[in-house]
């Protein structure tokens, strides 16, 4: 644990920061797996474009898990050690793919990103002016999640427009 590093945290218990980060850590692993498996099972029109996007997001979520785990350790905490705990700690849950169609898969993922945005925005609000280092890390992740939502939404819009224009020409 970084003693001087932790001494600059003011107005919030370090244990509270660790506990919020561990919940986000659970979210990141579940998001990683969701993208990983979605990229495998997805079916339908323009699926190659979607697979490229889903794999990129999976890599980003794993990178986020890494950033969050490192910060938990720096604070003197322990990242969740058992995957069972991902389900008891998650904020955003896990959206099991039921319909493998491109549009449904993208919809599930957009919901996940919207939850991630709310989660990181609320952590940023809580640690702002109290724990600058955590604030910086969650702000970087938040910017990625906002980009993720936008990427998925614009891909989903493109696919829906394409389907609509096909219907007009039949
Ligand atoms: Fe993430
Ligand atoms: Fe994301």
Ligand 1 centroid – CA 26 distance (Å): 10
Task: Give the mean pLDDT of 26-32.
Answer: 98
Task: Give the mean pLDDT of 143-162.
Answer: 96
Q: Quick one: which ligand is closest to 61's CA? A: 1
Residues in Cβ contact with 104 at an 8 Å cutoff, skipping those fewer than 6 apart: 97, 98
Ligand 1 centroid – CA 116 distance (Å): 7
Ligand 2 centroid – CA 129 distance (Å): 25
- pLDDT at residue 2 above 80? no
Total H helices, total E strands in the chain: 6, 0
Ligand 1 centroid – CA 106 distance (Å): 16
Reported as a single tens digit per residue, the pLDDT across 31-80 is 999 999 999 999 998 999 999 999 999 999 999 999 999 999 999 999 99
**What pLDDT band is residue 154 in, cutting at 50, 70 and 90?**
very high
Ligand 1 centroid – CA 138 distance (Å): 10
Q: What's the alpha-carbon Rg for the chain, to the nearest Å?
A: 18
Phi-psi region of 11 (alpha: psi -120 to 50; beta: other; left: phi over 0): left
Cβ atoms of 70 and 48 closer than 8 Å:
no
Compute the residue count for the chain: 170
Ligand 2 centroid – CA 148 distance (Å): 5
- Mind giving me the DSSP string for 105-157? HHHHHHHHHHHHHHHHHHHHHHHTTT-HHHHHHHHHHHHHHHHHHHHHHHHHH
What phi and psi, each to the nearest 5 degrees, are found at residue 12?
Answer: -150, 145
Percent of the chain with pLDDT over 90: 91
What phi and psi, each to the nearest 5 degrees, are found at residue 150?
Answer: -60, -45
Q: Quick one: which ligand is closest to 109's CA? A: 2
Ligand 1 centroid – CA 56 distance (Å): 11
Q: For the stretch 35-44, what's the b/e string if a residue is b when 16 or more beta carbons lie within 10 angstroms of its beta carbon?
A: bbebbeebee
């Amino acid at each position: 644990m970084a003693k001087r590093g932790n001494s600059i945290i003011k107005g919030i218990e370090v244990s509270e920061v660790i506990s919020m980060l561990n919940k986000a850590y659970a979210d990141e692993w579940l998001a990683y797996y969701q993208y990983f498996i979605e990229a495998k099972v997805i079916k339908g029109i323009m699926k190659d474009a979607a697979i490229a996007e889903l794999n990129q997001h999976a890599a980003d979520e794993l990178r986020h898990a890494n950033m969050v785990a490192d910060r938990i350790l720096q604070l003197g905490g322990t990242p969740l050690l058992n995957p069972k705990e991902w389900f008891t700690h998650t904020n955003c849950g896990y959206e099991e793919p039921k319909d493998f169609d491109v549009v449904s898969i993208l919809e599930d993922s957009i919901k996940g990103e919207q939850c991630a945005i709310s989660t990181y925005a609320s952590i940023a609000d809580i640690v702002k002016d109290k724990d600058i280092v955590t604030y910086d890390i969650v702000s970087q992740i938040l910017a990625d999640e906002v980009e993720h939502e936008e990427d998925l939404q614009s891909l989903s819009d493109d696919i829906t427009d394409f389907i609509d224009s096909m219907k007009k020409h039949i």
